[in-house]
Amino acid sequence: MSKNDHLNKSSANRKRKRREKRLAMTVIFALVAVLVLFAASNWEAVVGHFEGIGERTLWSGTSDAGFPVRLPGSAGSIDSFDNGFMLLTETYVYTYGANGGQRFAHRHGYSTAKAAVSGRRILVYDKNGRQFSLFGRSGLIYENDTDERIVYANIGENGSAAVVFRSDVHANVLEIYDNSGNWRYTKRFADENIMQVAFISSDNDIIVTTVGFDSGNMTAAVRRLDTSSDDESGLWRAELPENTIPFAIHVRGRSVFVLGDSALFVLDSRSGELIGSYEYRGNLIDYVFSDNGCVLLVNDFTAGEIKLISLGRSAELLGSAEVSQGASQVEIHRGNAAVLEPDAIALFEGGGRDTGELPLRERLALSEGFSRFAYVRGDILLLGYNTVERLQ
């Protein structure tokens, strides 16, 4: 090879390497630009996954652990959350680990705050207000402002939010948002009021209960709707007995549990057909759903008793028991029921047999009462006026 040929080849190699370098830089720049655009369009969802980023999240991490957990004000609700628990007060959302160490505190600023919890997500909304927020294990993920006032909201297992609004034109308007706060579905109800919404099928479908009036009689219905479809009729619609008021719904596998003011109904989630029902007598005090069915706490005023009623997956009666006057809450742990009484936690096995009690004042050496409790990793956490106590 001549000297000129060698120089020409070297020059060509240098030019080829420069072109390859420029091409690589162009590709890198394009990827960075795409990532920046994605982050900008999903900013609220992105920052929600990092600790302490929510602008009103005052603490993120873990504070000194231990019980009792003391609060600066009274808390309205307690619930298990992400291997720990959450508290909702008039001004704050708090989350804690199972050891009592605080993870974060967020000032929500809602006039009438309500919360729904699912897995590692908490949906907080301002009832009769115009804002709702989604929280993860590290704090605020997003907050949305709305044009209409919020009546009710619920959360799905994958973080989707169902929000029900008042409307001047319709009875109610239902909107579904994904776990980043983006709208994805709207359903308008002309002459029926929505009572509850539950997600099903990985948040793709929803079960909705409604009440309306026909010739002076109250009518109640249950629907399954596909949120990816524009079909107004939905997948199925089932009528409940006249003058039934739906209090709660729960979906477990192929079963849809609809708890009314005088009966529990179980429907097939695929067809809407009735699987079974159970009528109870008295005023419903509290209830809890489980993998095996439902447990009711009922004031049977005709008998002068507070009853614990255990129902199976087809609403069949598994057992019942009398509990103390003043009983206010029921929870289930490993198939057994626990009832909050004024001075004790009463324990019952799945069929309703009394298995003992945990005296609260003696065990905790306190004089104050407790309004709610929750199971966290097998421990009982009791919510007082401004403290959380633990029974191990």
If you write DSSP's letter for every residue of 264-332 in order, what string do you get? EEEEETTT--EEEEEE--SEEEEEEEETTEEEEEEEETTTTEEEEEEE-TTS-EEEEEEE-TT--EEEE
Phi, psi values for residue 12, rounded to 5°:
-65, -40
CATH architecture of 3-280: Beta Barrel (2.40)
**pLDDT at 16 > cutoff 80:** no
Domain ranges in the chain are 3-280, 281-392
Q: Cα-atom radius of gyration of the chain, to the nearest Å?
A: 27
The predicted model scores a pTM of 0.82
Query: What does the pLDDT read at residue 46?
Result: 44
In whole angstroms, give the CA distance from residue 24 to residue 38.
Answer: 21
Query: What does the pLDDT read at residue 368?
Result: 63
Query: What does the pLDDT read at residue 119?
Result: 85
What is the rounded average pLDDT of the residues 277-297? 95
Tokens of 42: 């999903």
Query: What does the pLDDT read at residue 166?
Result: 95
In whole angstroms, give the CA distance from residue 113 to residue 165.
Answer: 15
3-state secondary structure of 254: coil
From the number of C-beta atoms within 10 Å of its C-beta (0-12, 13-18, 19+), residue 188 rates as middle
In whole angstroms, give the CA distance from residue 121 to residue 135.
Answer: 6
Tell me what the pLDDT averaged over the chain comes to: 85
What is the rounded average pLDDT of the residues 48-63? 48
In whole angstroms, give the CA distance from residue 277 to residue 128.
Answer: 34
Query: What does the pLDDT read at residue 63?
Result: 58
Alpha-carbon distances, residue 6 vs 10, 11, 58, 361 (angstroms): 6, 9, 68, 95
**pLDDT at 336 > cutoff 80:** yes
The percent of residues above 70 in pLDDT, for the chain, comes to: 81
Highest mean pLDDT of the ranges 38-52, 59-73, 201-215: 201-215
Please, which residues have CB within 8 angstroms of residue 217's CB and are 6 or more apart in sequence? 242, 243
Query: What does the pLDDT read at residue 185?
Result: 97
Q: What is the pLDDT of residues 356-369, one digit of tens each?
A: 777 775 555 555 67
Please, which residues have CB within 8 angstroms of residue 362's CB and are 6 or more apart in sequence? none
**pLDDT at 81 > cutoff 60:** yes
Q: Would 3-280 and 281-392 be classified into the same CATH topology?
A: no
Alpha helix (H) ranges present in the chain? 3-41, 43-47, 360-364
Query: What does the pLDDT read at residue 167?
Result: 92
Alpha helix (H) ranges present in 42-164? 43-47
Query: What does the pLDDT read at residue 30?
Result: 53
Residue 57 pLDDT grade (very low, low, confident, very high; cuts 50, 70, 90): low
Highest mean pLDDT of the ranges 58-62, 206-210, 232-236: 206-210
Query: What does the pLDDT read at residue 48?
Result: 43
Query: What does the pLDDT read at residue 21?
Result: 53
3-state secondary structure of 20: helix
Protein fold of 281-392: Neuraminidase (2.120.10)
